[in-house]
Amino acid sequence: VRHIEREMAKKGLEPPLWDKGMGFTLSMYAFTILRGKADNSLFIDQQSIIEHARKIDWYLAAVLMGSMAMLLILAAIGYFFIEK
C-alpha cells in the first residue's frame, strides 16, 4: 500500500482522508488489484492503483482476500454446525 500511495502522491493524488487508521482502503486496493480493471468508484482512484501495482502486490492481494474468505467460511461453519 505504501508503494502505491507513494507513486500516487508523485502524481498529486492523495490517499483517502476518510480512512485514517481504519484500513478499509487496503481491502479496496486488494480487490481492485485482483480484478485488474477500473470502474467508477467514488472512494479510490482505481486506475492509478492498477497502474502502480507490482506483481508482488497481486500476490499479497490474493493472500489477503483468500485469508478473508477462509475466515468467513470458518465462521459460518462454526456458527451453523458446532453445537453450543
Q: What is the pLDDT of residue 19?
A: 73
Q: Is the distance from CB of 48 to CB of 8 less than 8 angstroms?
A: yes
Which range has the top average pLDDT, 6-10, 15-19, 63-67? Answer: 63-67
Over residues 19-39, mean pLDDT: 85
44 backbone dihedrals φ, ψ, rounded to 5°: -135, 160
Q: Cα torsion for 71, 73, 78, 81, to the nearest 10°?
A: -170
Chain-centre distance for alpha carbon 25? 6
Q: What is the pLDDT of residue 21?
A: 72
Q: Is the distance from CB of 32 to CB of 47 less than 8 angstroms?
A: no
Over residues 21-36, mean pLDDT: 87
Question: Does 25 score more than 90 pLDDT?
Answer: no
